[in-house]
Amino acid sequence: MSRIVLSLVTDSPLTLAQPEDAHTRADWEAATAAVLRKSRKLGDNDPDSAVWEKLTRTTLDGIGITPLGLPGGATSPVRPTRQGAWDIRSLVSGPDAKLANEAALVDLDGGVTSLWLAADESTDVAATLANVLLDLAPVVLDAPSATTQVAEAFLALPGAKHPDSNLGIDPLGVMLRDIPIAVDEAVAELQTLARKADQHDIRAIVVDATAAHDLGASDAQELGWSLAAGVAYLRWLTDHGLTVDQAAAQVEFRYAATDEQFPTIAKVRAARVLWARVLELSGATATGQRQHAVTSRPMLSKYDPYVNMLRGTVAAFAAGVGGADAVTVLPFDSANGLPDGFGRRIARNVNHLLIDESHVAAVADPAGGAYAVEQLTTDLAEAGWAEFQRLEQEWESGHDFDPFRERIAAVVAKREADIARRKRPLTGVSEFPNLAETLPERAADPLNDRVRRYGASFEALRDEPAAQPVFLATLGSIAQHTARATFISNLFAAGGIAVEAAGPTSGVEDLLASYTGQAVVCLAGTDAAYGEWGAAAVAALREAGAQHVIIAGKPDAVDAEVDDAAAMGVDALAFLTATREKLA
């Protein structure tokens, strides 16, 4: 099977090492269809060609991610400018300058090569960066509520002249985050700080597309926002007397990397293609884009936070393969508050493992030439360009962000619906939750206030566990009821609802012997058990005091009236909310 997949690139046979190794597209479809029929994902009467539809995932932008790439897709003309390993950048934040400084120095000693400083009006920049060799370690500022104050404090430090340092000016991103700022003031601030940055031979601007991502934007919306903001900054700087090349040299872009591996690879690659096109149309001689990728904060989970290590690793891999110049892996415990030393160490070591042990950075563009990735890059670039054009039209008479926010809200609603039905499963949150876990205790992190995590709805239920358990009326032996009992127990746990199971039973009397008067009961057994004695079990439980009867499976699986049912594809959030109301 693996040889068929790897060798398929055309409808005609290929000449490989041996003639018998040549296969056609039809061969691959037949082999794949056979596997899908065994798993009942494809019917016996479905054509083999249906495997493409069955195995193609669709992104929130409506772009299909095919299981296998075929010739014919466009090839990206823009390769990464990075030579070798990417810049390992750690995020430094927190109100305590001494603790933040200790974290920064430990990170630098552990192999981090640059710092990303999140600051506000209360930040003591000098104390936070004490003993940091600023001529060796670049620092990128992020102070949306105190941009000028923090920038001037940084520029006053000796040695703050590394060419990759950046004052982090991003007024449009600040406005998108609903931080009050006037456009005229923003333009003047950007032009003033850009001049000062030029005098220190550093960059001035970060187009932070995570401002859109953190609100719930899709990949195409994130790309479109970055282009629109970048173009606005080019205009503001060239109006101030800079050439297009000089203005472009002041700008760095920040994108979110998620655990959706191939869309992230394509997004980073598409961003370079799109910005190169913008600069080409602007008459610039240079067309490169300085990219900083940071693992997505919304994808992190507060519950079962150790799963975030896996999410961060996949996201960092995708960012590195996509060609990002700098990569930040947020510590796995970031959603719980300010990360501790262990979380920071794991975060920076993810980069070291990818670079030094997996050699991901040894190839300039590992995904280049892969038909599936190239096609996805092209499709995403086209969608991002369309969003950019919409923003350009909307901003002709002023920077009105409401239409953009409305489009993001539509994407959020679509994502929420998928998460509610667990079509986008979140391990440890909507799937396989552990009600007995103890969460790590961390100090509050204001940066978490900027985002709404993808699992927020489920996490809100977990934050206030149901006061009463559900009685799990298991019908039959363990072998007979375990499948549905496990399914429904995990579903209840995702909503902060515990269960008390009857255990193995052989009839109604066994069931009633374990029942202790819970208001809500849920039947879990095979279809045969439901048909044989499910109705009697429902009647007996109601007579014993059950007020709300649920069945694990289809509602008509038992010949009795039930109050609710849960099967695959159920709106889990609606079901759990309704159940909790009955438990209350």
Say which residues have a Cβ less than 8 Å from residue 109's Cβ, sequence separation at least 6. Answer: none
Give the span between the Cα atoms of 263 and 267, in whole angstroms. Answer: 6
Closest CA to 466 of 549, 578, 564: 578
**Domain-embedded: residue 392:** no
pLDDT of residue 2 exceeding 70, the answer is no
DSSP character string of 290-317: -EEEEE-STT--SSSTTHHHHHHHHHHH
Q: Which residues of 461-484 are buried (b: 16+ CB within 10 A; e: fewer)?
A: bbeeebebbbbbbbbbeeebbbeb
Q: Are residues 95 and 10 in the same domain?
A: no
- For residues 523 and 563, is the Cβ–Cβ distance under 8 A? no
Residue 431: CB atoms within 10 Å = 16
Q: Are residues 92 and 51 in the same domain?
A: no
Residue 123: both structure tokens together: 């930040």
Q: Are residues 23 and 145 in the same domain?
A: no
Say which residues have a Cβ less than 8 Å from residue 53's Cβ, sequence separation at least 6. Answer: none
Residue with tokens 């127990």: 489
| Domain-terminating residue out of 344, 365, 386 | 365
Tally of domains in the chain: 3
Interhelix angle 341-352/307-322, nearest 10 degrees: 40
Can you give the pTM of this predicted structure? 0.92
pLDDT of residue 447 exceeding 50, the answer is yes
Q: Are residues 183 and 319 in the same domain?
A: yes
Give the span between the Cα atoms of 100 and 95, in whole angstroms. Answer: 8
The range of the structural domain enclosing residue 46 comes to 2-55
**Domain-embedded: residue 421:** no
Closest CA to 71 of 374, 281, 347: 374
- 305-313: long-range contacts, CB 8 A cutoff, minimum separation 24: 305/332, 305/333, 305/335, 305/336, 305/428, 305/439, 305/440, 306/332, 307/427, 307/428, 308/332, 308/333, 308/334, 308/335, 309/346, 309/350, 310/259, 311/258, 311/259, 312/347, 312/350, 313/350, 313/353, 313/354
pLDDT tens for 470-520 read: 999 999 999 999 999 999 999 999 999 999 999 999 999 999 999 999 999
Q: Give the model's confidence band at 75: pLDDT under 50 very low, under 70 low, under 90 confident, else very high.
A: low
pLDDT score at 370: 87
Q: Give the model's confidence band at 368: pLDDT under 50 very low, under 70 low, under 90 confident, else very high.
A: confident
**Domain-embedded: residue 160:** yes
- For residues 14 and 28, is the Cβ–Cβ distance under 8 A? no
DSSP character string of 373-396: HHHHHHHHHHHHHHHHHHHHHHTT
pLDDT score at 238: 94
Q: Give the model's confidence band at 417: pLDDT under 50 very low, under 70 low, under 90 confident, else very high.
A: very high
CATH number, domain at 193? 3.20.20.240
pLDDT of residue 321 exceeding 60, the answer is yes
pLDDT score at 6: 34
Largest CA distance in the chain: 87
Residue with tokens 């959603």: 335
**Domain-embedded: residue 456:** no
- For residues 578 and 564, is the Cβ–Cβ distance under 8 A? yes
pLDDT score at 68: 80
| Domain-terminating residue out of 323, 343, 365 | 365
pLDDT score at 397: 84
**Domain-embedded: residue 427:** no
Q: Give the model's confidence band at 183: pLDDT under 50 very low, under 70 low, under 90 confident, else very high.
A: confident
Q: Give the model's confidence band at 381: pLDDT under 50 very low, under 70 low, under 90 confident, else very high.
A: very high
Q: Are residues 12 and 92 in the same domain?
A: no
pLDDT score at 12: 47
Q: Are residues 51 and 115 in the same domain?
A: no
Q: Are residues 310 and 224 in the same domain?
A: yes
- For residues 428 and 462, is the Cβ–Cβ distance under 8 A? no
At residue 65, φ and ψ (nearest 5 deg) are -105, 105
Q: Give the model's confidence band at 73: pLDDT under 50 very low, under 70 low, under 90 confident, else very high.
A: low
Q: Are residues 211 and 111 in the same domain?
A: yes
| Domain-terminating residue out of 343, 365, 387 | 365
Angle at 539 between CA 533 and CA 545, to 5 degrees: 135
Average model confidence (pLDDT) across the chain: 92
Residue 444: both structure tokens together: 């509050």
CATH number, domain at 509? 3.40.50.280
Residue 536: CB atoms within 10 Å = 15
**Three-state DSSP class for 439?**
coil
Give the span between the Cα atoms of 206 and 101, in whole angstroms. Answer: 23
**Average pLDDT of 354-365?**
92
Q: Are residues 91 and 31 in the same domain?
A: no
Strands of 548-552's sheet in order across: 499-501, 470-474, 520-524, 548-552, 564-566
pLDDT score at 582: 95
**Domain-embedded: residue 338:** yes
**Three-state DSSP class for 570?**
coil
Who wins on pLDDT, 1 or 433?
A: 433
Give the span between the Cα atoms of 150 and 125, in whole angstroms. Answer: 7
Give the span between the Cα atoms of 356 and 209, in whole angstroms. Answer: 29
Q: Are residues 242 and 321 in the same domain?
A: yes
pLDDT tens for 117-164 read: 999 999 999 999 999 999 999 999 999 999 999 999 999 999 898 999
Q: Are residues 50 and 152 in the same domain?
A: no
pLDDT score at 17: 55
Who wins on pLDDT, 334 or 13?
A: 334
Q: Are residues 208 and 314 in the same domain?
A: yes
- For residues 190 and 205, is the Cβ–Cβ distance under 8 A? yes
**Domain-embedded: residue 404:** no
pLDDT tens for 523-578 read: 999 999 999 999 999 999 999 999 999 999 998 888 889 999 999 999 999 999 99
DSSP character string of 330-353: --TTGGGSS--HHHHHHHHHHHHI
pLDDT tens for 49-66 read: 888 888 898 999 999 988
Give the span between the Cα atoms of 363 and 367, in whole angstroms. Answer: 9
pLDDT score at 61: 93
Q: Give the model's confidence band at 184: pLDDT under 50 very low, under 70 low, under 90 confident, else very high.
A: confident
**Domain-embedded: residue 372:** no
What count of residues does the chain have? Answer: 584
